[in-house]
Amino acid sequence: MKTIRTFDVADMEDVAVGGAVLGTGGGGDPYIGKLMAQEAIRKHGPVRLADVGDLADDALVVPVCMMGAPTVMAEKLPQGDELMRAFGALEQRMGRKVDAVICIEAGGVNSTTPFVVAAASGLPLLDGDGMGRAFPELQMVTFTMFGVASTPMVLCDDKGNALVLDTISNQWTERLARAATVEMGGSALLAAYPMTGAIAKKSMVRGTLSLCARIGSTLRETRAAHGDPVAALCALLGAQTLFHGRIADIERKTVGGFARGRAVLNGLDQNRDQVLHLDFQNEFLIAERDGEVLVTTPDLITAVDAETGAPVTADGLRYGQRLVILAWPCDPIWRSKAGIDLVGPRYFGYDRDYLPLA
Amino acid sequence: MIRIGIDVGGTNTDAVLLDGTKVVAGVKAPTSRDVMTGVVEALRKVLAAAGREAATVDVVMIGTTHFTNAVVQRRDLAQTAAVRLCLPATECLPPMVDWPEDLRTVIGNHWYLAHGGNEFDGRVISPLDEAELRGIADDIRGKGIRSVAVTSVFSPVSTEFEERAGAILADALPGVHITLSSSIGRIGLLERENAAIMNACLRDLSQEVVAAFRGALADIGFTGRFFLTQNDGTLMDAAFAERFPVLTFASGPTNSMRGAAFLSGVQDAIVVDIGGTTTDVGSLQKGFPRQATLAVEVGGVRTNFRMPDVFSIGLGGGSLVVDSPDGVTVGPRSVGYRISTEARIFGGSTLTTTDIVVADGGATLGDAAKVSGLDRGLIRRARDRIAFMLEDCVEKARISAEPLPVIVVGGGSILVEGPIAGLELIKPDHFAVANAVGAAIAQVSGEVDRVYSLAEMGRDEALSDAKAKATEAAIAAGAHPDGIEIVDVEDVPLAYLPGNATRVRVKAVGDLHVA
């Protein structure tokens, strides 16, 4: 396969920043995943990025990711072989060699985990992912809409345990794997959703990993040139500046293991005298200005520091921060009825319909 | 009680003498290269200014940048072994993996992974292997390393593994310094381990520095106890400071904020400390600086230990003012300590913020005639720019919509024209030595940060357990058991896990127990 570009140790810094931006407030800090990818690249050499269009239709593609609490992963770091063990076990189960690695979630810590496997296996990494952002549950991937089964799936822990799942639906996989992850100590690594090249071409959100790298390099270079990082980020993402304001209040509660909440921002500059409400459940899901809903999930909402353009997670929101809220349309794949059923506002318990962002 | 507070800063060593709660005298002396000469000079000056004998002083509190500078400048650091109790987990990223190469090399890059560690809910990852640890001890002995940092996975949840491993290593390596990560940092393995390793590599230096302070104080005839201040605004006695030098990191901004609270009598406020080159801004809650929640880098190393949530902007009394068609810029470049020769009012040729203020009649300083010809429009624009910068950082430091007052301290306070962000403005007496005052009035604290499984106990029970443990920790650190207050409680549920685990952080504070 043709290599679009390669990723060396230093490039992973940019990917991690981009992963945090596409994390739309959630997905976990990419820090540990970035360090793991850098170690793997030091040991095995750079990662080759490839375009899914160049893949044979009958090729076998396998995504890998981390599941569980990013806070746990930052304390009990992985043993290191989990991803490769899960990947290898799934390959064995499929009875044939895997041709390429794919990213399941370009937002948060999982923007970096597939680089570990791509470096260690020497296989190309496809430029794209199964979300184009971050979402909290395993079935919330574009692959689900194209009938890809999440199983056989292999879930591995630090001790050497491997759990192979065969389930009747991707929702069941989420349910069983989540319970197993808690038993494994709150953080586990997995390979799942084996699929053909033909399906990957149809279902993946393309270009998101090279976008991560460009987000990181754009912010880095704009800051170095004393430019306006937020404006540069908007231009790169084709995002609109939804709001410029300060956090005036944050309400948090936990429901079923997910951090839910609502932030209130008071406007500055062009948004003076306006108020923005930002609803989050790990990720930012709904933005409402002066009572009018402007953006709903799965369209992307990200909060960045007004000066540096550095992404701010929902966990990191604090009173008084001056933020710019950016929003841009999700990949058209999500905008079907099946997509909205899977990740639209009603799935997250909000009594409102999806409102496509222009 | 008569107390002396000392703050060793980059430019000046400040000292104050307090009789009870009254500031009797405050002085500044230049910081010397060897530090101790400057400290002794400041001590002599403050005693003379107060008209007191050293023997009448009960306690001396010292805030120092010694240890931060040692790490930043990579000097006086000891060869250190990092032992992590974790296997089979965490093998993918060894200790010091994300450190700057030069610092890792200076302390030898010695590390060992061993069995042990806990899960988030307290389960054991693997049992401790004494023979394995004794083997590691043999290797450490063979290399002649004299300081060891021990870090166990989830040690903030259970300290058992670190304590047992520490005891085995201490037994096998008599006289070697042992630092346990759970006594320093919080959840976040690499960050806590980093703090423990930095502490370990400073242990030789801390013995020297504490001995030098002891000597300097004896030289001037002081016979009482002395303490060092920590980054959370509380004290550690000399013996504790010898063991935990890393806890002095960033004590400077903390001391100035605590001093501001004391001098103004206000416990909840925004503090703006304006120096010559930078302005530090932070928020006070119940008289203590709010703690940072994000990772803070020291000398290029990521840490997560108790640092005040203070941020700096490039605005000070020596900041350069440059006019251009795009508008006026202020800072971040500054003439710094050369202000006394380079600013216009002192006969220099550089336009500084101080010149602008003097030209506007905001302060009487230097020769005002030298700036009388400045364009009124420029003066206004520069002052507006300064006001905007101050307003922006004060807004950032606010933690609620409550209209908290703003306390302004530091030598550059003349830059403040009027209320910032519409909030009440307080400029206390002795504002220039607020940092030394902060050192003098420091209290004693204890802190707990751990994950509780709410499947086993209710939230209220978990919180009261954490409060009891924090109170015990404060008493162990030297607080008077009467009147200990819980000053900070925070519980954050662990995201992406079904609802039963929550991380609780509690801090207790009390007055120093002077026996």
Specify if B294 maps to a domain: no
pLDDT digits (tens, 9 = 90+) for B105-154: 999 999 999 999 999 888 899 999 999 999 999 999 999 999 999 999 99
Residues of chain A neighbouring B326 (CB-CB closer than 8 A) = none
B53 touches chain A (CB under 8 A): no
Q: Are residues B317 and B421 in the same domain?
A: yes
Residue ending a domain, choose from B434, B454, B477: B434
Q: CB distance A39–B496 less than 8 Å?
A: no
pLDDT at A215: 98
Specify if B296 maps to a domain: no
Q: CB distance B90–A77 less than 8 Å?
A: yes
pLDDT greater than 70 at residue A203:
yes
Nearest to A206 by CA among A36, A8, A41, A51: A51
Specify if B209 maps to a domain: yes
pLDDT digits (tens, 9 = 90+) for B26-77: 998 877 777 888 899 999 999 999 999 999 999 999 998 788 878 888 889 9
Q: Are residues B192 and B236 in the same domain?
A: no
A242 forms bridges with which residues in the sheet? none
Q: Fill in the DSSP letter of residue A335.
A: G
ipTM computed for the complex? 0.90
Residue B183 identity: S
B322, B304 Cβ separation under 8 angstroms:
no
Q: Are residues B157 and B214 in the same domain?
A: no
- B32 vs A357 pLDDT, higher one: A357
pLDDT digits (tens, 9 = 90+) for B144-189: 999 999 999 999 878 889 999 999 999 999 999 999 998 887 889 9
Nearest to A36 by CA among A5, A72, A75, A79: A79
Mean pLDDT on A110-139: 97
Closest-CA distance of chain A to residue B223, Å: 45
Q: Which helix (H) or strand (E) holds A178?
A: helix A170-183
Would you state the torsion angle of the CA atoms of residues B99, B105, B107, B110, taken in this order, to the nearest 10 degrees?
Answer: 90
Q: CB distance A69–B89 less than 8 Å?
A: no
Going from N- to C-terminal start, the domains of chain A cover 5-208, 239-343
pLDDT at B230: 86
Cα–Cα distance for residue pair B429/B406, rounded to 1 Å: 15
Residue B291 identity: Q
Q: Residues near A292 by Cβ (< 8 Å), separated by ≥ 6?
A: none
Q: Are residues B344 and B486 in the same domain?
A: no
Mean pLDDT on B480-497: 75
CA angle (B291 as vertex; A72, B497 as ends), nearest 5: 20
Specify if B281 maps to a domain: no
Over its C-alpha atoms, chain B yields an Rg (Å, rounded) of 24
pLDDT at B392: 86
Q: CB distance A248–B90 less than 8 Å?
A: no
State whether residue B344 is helix, strand or coil. helix
Q: CB distance B497–A69 less than 8 Å?
A: yes
Instruction: Report strand pairing: B147-152 vs B177-180.
Output: parallel
Q: Which one of B396, B493, B494 has the shortest CB-CB distance to A72?
A: B494
Residues of chain B neighbouring A318 (CB-CB closer than 8 A) = 293, 399
Cα–Cα distance for residue pair A189/B22, rounded to 1 Å: 60
Q: Are residues B358 and B382 in the same domain?
A: yes
Q: Are residues B96 and B181 in the same domain?
A: yes
Q: B111, B389, B497: best mutation site toward chain A, by most A Cβ within 10 Å?
A: B497
Specify if B261 maps to a domain: no
Domain topology for A5-208: CV3147-like fold (3.40.1610)
pLDDT greater than 90 at residue B249:
no
Cα–Cα distance for residue pair B11/B65, rounded to 1 Å: 11
Nearest to A68 by CA among A5, A172, A155: A155
pLDDT greater than 90 at residue A15:
yes
Q: Are residues B214 and B362 in the same domain?
A: no
pLDDT-derived band at B479, boundaries 50, 70, 90: confident
Residue A251 identity: E
pLDDT at B334: 82
pTM recorded for the entire structure = 0.85
Task: Say what percent of chain B tops pLDDT 70.
Answer: 96
Q: CB distance B120–A321 less than 8 Å?
A: no
pLDDT at A137: 93
The residue behind tokens 């070697």 is B176
Q: Find the CATH number of the domain harbouring B236.
A: 3.30.420.40
Mean pLDDT on A40-58: 97
Q: Are residues B450 and B422 in the same domain?
A: no
pLDDT-derived band at A34, boundaries 50, 70, 90: very high
Interface A-B: count of C-beta contacts within 8 A: 135
DSSP string, B231-265: TTSBEEEHHHHHH-GGGGTTHHHHHHHHHHHHHHT
Specify if B464 maps to a domain: yes
Q: Are residues B476 and B426 in the same domain?
A: no
Residues of chain B neighbouring A315 (CB-CB closer than 8 A) = 492, 495
Residues of chain A neighbouring B93 (CB-CB closer than 8 A) = 32, 35-36, 39, 77, 80
pLDDT greater than 90 at residue B84:
yes
pLDDT at B495: 58
Expressed as residue numbers, the domain containing B393 is 313-434
pLDDT at B444: 85
The total number of structural domains in chain B stands at: 4
Domain A239-343 bears CATH identifier 3.40.250.10: no
pLDDT at B515: 55
C-alpha torsion sign, points B506, B511, B514, B515: negative
Task: Say what percent of chain A tops pLDDT 90.
Answer: 85
Would you state the torsion angle of the CA atoms of residues A87, A103, A285, A289, taken in this order, to the nearest 10 degrees?
Answer: 170
B117 touches chain A (CB under 8 A): yes
pLDDT digits (tens, 9 = 90+) for B444-460: 888 887 778 777 788 88
- For residue B152, give Cα distances in angstroms to B117, B160, B165, B433: 5, 9, 9, 41
Residue B324 identity: S
Residue ending a domain, choose from B412, B434, B456: B434
A61 forms bridges with which residues in the sheet? A100, A195
CB-neighbour burial class of residue A86 (10 A; exposed 0-12, middle 13-18, buried 19+): buried
Instruction: Report strand pairing: B225-229 vs B235-237.
Output: antiparallel
Q: Which one of B92, B126, B497 has the shortest CB-CB distance to A186?
A: B497
- A286 vs A247 pLDDT, higher one: A286
Specify if B285 maps to a domain: no
Specify if B48 maps to a domain: yes
A330, A322 Cβ separation under 8 angstroms:
no
Q: How far is CA A355 from the centre of its chain?
A: 22
Q: Are residues B68 and B208 in the same domain?
A: yes
pLDDT at B295: 67
CA angle (B394 as vertex; B390, B396 as ends), nearest 5: 120
Task: Say what percent of chain B tops pLDDT 90.
Answer: 52
pLDDT-derived band at B297, boundaries 50, 70, 90: confident
- B31 vs B431 pLDDT, higher one: B431
Cα–Cα distance for residue pair B428/B443, rounded to 1 Å: 21
Q: Are residues B103 and B163 in the same domain?
A: yes
Q: Are residues B478 and B506 in the same domain?
A: yes
Residue A295 CB neighbours (<10 A): 24
- B235 vs A304 pLDDT, higher one: A304
Q: CB distance A68–B496 less than 8 Å?
A: yes
Cα–Cα distance for residue pair B272/B280, rounded to 1 Å: 6
Q: Find the CATH number of the domain harbouring B195.
A: 3.40.50
Interface of A with B (CB under 8 A): 26, 28, 32, 35-36, 39, 68-72, 74-80, 136, 158-160, 178-179, 181-182, 185-186, 246, 248-249, 254-259, 282, 315-316, 318-322
Residues of chain A neighbouring B397 (CB-CB closer than 8 A) = 320
Q: Which one of A35, A186, A255 has the shortest CB-CB distance to B119?
A: A186
pLDDT digits (tens, 9 = 90+) for B221-237: 998 889 999 877 788 88
Residue B453 CB neighbours (<10 A): 16
Residues of chain A neighbouring B97 (CB-CB closer than 8 A) = 35, 39
Q: Which one of A77, A136, A318 has the shortest CB-CB distance to B93?
A: A77
Please list, residue by residue across A160-190, b when 16 or more beta carbons sit within 10 angstroms of its beta carbon and e when fewer do. Answer: eebbebebeebbbbbebbbebbbebbbbbbb
pLDDT at B250: 80
Pair of tokens at residue B256:
């100035």
